[in-house]
């Protein structure tokens, strides 16, 4: 569990227990293959540990960004990964190295890549509703663990959910805790951060952040997994923000079951207190088809049957990526600053607006 007594006013915890190694990274690891992911201030590469020949994902994070010392941000990410060590659905932290310019996190390698690839795949390769129910249960089990430890992820999206295996379909690993924060009742946390299509309305309006922000993102994520479309995406970022603030959602006819729609609706509530919690979601009929007669779908894992498969990588922040410009501030809320996209939200593929298959007509 995170030590909340050492968190700062931004909800970050910088006290860690993992030993930070200072010998050269390449003394113990060989880098292999191509990059797994890249962003403005970090890059993720596949590596092999020389002593064991095991595969890992090495995440190289710059300590200085835009002239500022961001070492505390990285320590916060390490602290969250430490606290989530017992969580089978959060990427595992193996080792940490530090150089004069970077901190390197050695993480599980997720061989199946991000679920985004199958969200927008052709019919033969796309997820079935049975698959989605199983994966959604795993995501919610992982997130419920974080929330019970007062951790909010704040950047849940298909690019930050990896698979241990693509074929056959493996288990999920939640990755990229660069924006995660510790929240509690002792102090309010207000910050503009996240990824535009997935950010909760209260963040855009600079209201206090709670674990409910993650539940909104899970609602959007589930919609994307079921339809291959982004529910709030507009032609421009400002239109996206407007759709989010007004909760303009259009459910495609015949493509989402009534139970799935009810599940998503329970999360896409503008008022945070009206959203289902992760534990409540796990009891929803859509995720428990065996206990409910009419629903398409699948055998799912119960909380007592948590699968523990090994793997994974954790793509997320990045080095220099001109394709991902800074997101402009939301005009409705002047003076609050730009939406912070995480230590640069980690992207393994192009952003939604460049994918025609992710476009959808939005009600304005």
Q: Residues comprising the binding site for ATP? A: 59
Q: What CA–CA distance (Å, rounded) separates 209 from 199?
A: 11
Token pair recorded at residue 320: 């220099």
Q: Which of 73, 122, 124, 155 is catalytic?
A: 155
315-351: burial string, b at 16+ Cβ within 10 Å, e else: bbbbbeeeebeebebbeeeeebeebbbbbbbbbbeeb
- CA gap 181, 13 in Å, rounded: 8
Q: Six-digit token pair at 183? A: 């929240």
Rounded to an integer, what distance in angstroms lies between the CA atom of residue 119 and that of residue 115?
6
Q: Residue 162 is encoded by which pair of tokens?
A: 């990896």
**Rounded to an integer, what distance in angstroms lies between the CA atom of residue 170 and that of residue 164?**
5
Assess whether 122 carries a catalytic annotation: no
By annotation, the residues acting in catalysis are 155
């Amino acid at each position: 569990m995170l030590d909340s007594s050492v968190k700062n006013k931004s909800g970050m915890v910088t006290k860690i227990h993992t030993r930070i190694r200072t010998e050269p990274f390449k003394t113990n690891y060989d880098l292999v293959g191509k990059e797994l992911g890249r962003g403005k201030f970090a890059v993720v590469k596949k590596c092999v540990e020389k002593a064991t020949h095991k595969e890992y994902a090495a995440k190289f994070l710059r300590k200085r960004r835009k002239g500022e010392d961001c070492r505390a941000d990285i320590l916060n990410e390490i602290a969250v990964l430490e606290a989530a060590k017992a969580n089978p659905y959060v990427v595992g932290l193996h080792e940490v190295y530090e150089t004069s310019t970077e901190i390197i996190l050695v993480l599980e390698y997720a061989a199946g890549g991000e679920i985004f690839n199958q969200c927008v795949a052709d019919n033969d390769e796309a997820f079935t509703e049975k698959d989605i129910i199983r994966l959604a249960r795993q995501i919610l089990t992982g997130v419920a663990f974080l929330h019970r430890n007062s951790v909010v992820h704040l950047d849940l999206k298909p690019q930050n959910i990896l698979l241990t295996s693509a074929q056959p379909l493996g288990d999920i690993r939640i990755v990229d805790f660069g924006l995660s924060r510790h929240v509690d009742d002792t102090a309010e946390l207000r910050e503009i951060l996240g990824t535009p299509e997935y950010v909760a309305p209260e963040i855009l309006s600079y209201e206090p952040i709670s674990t409910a922000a993650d539940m909104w993102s899970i609602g959007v994520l589930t919609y994307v997994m079921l339809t291959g479309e982004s529910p709030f995406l507009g032609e421009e970022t400002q239109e996206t923000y407007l759709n989010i603030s007004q909760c303009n959602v259009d459910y495609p006819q015949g493509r989402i079951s009534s139970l799935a729609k009810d599940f998503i609706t329970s999360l896409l509530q503008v008022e945070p207190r009206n959203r289902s919690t992760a534990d409540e979601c796990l009891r929803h009929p859509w995720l428990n088809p065996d206990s409910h007669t009419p629903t398409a779908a699948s055998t799912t894992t119960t909380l007592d049957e948590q699968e523990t498969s090994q793997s994974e990588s954790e793509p997320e922040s990045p080095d220099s990526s001109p394709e991902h410009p800074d997101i402009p501030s939301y005009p409705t809320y002047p003076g609050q600053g730009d939406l912070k996209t995480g230590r640069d939200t980690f992207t393994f593929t192009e952003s939604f607006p460049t994918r025609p298959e992710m476009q959808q007509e939005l009600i304005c």
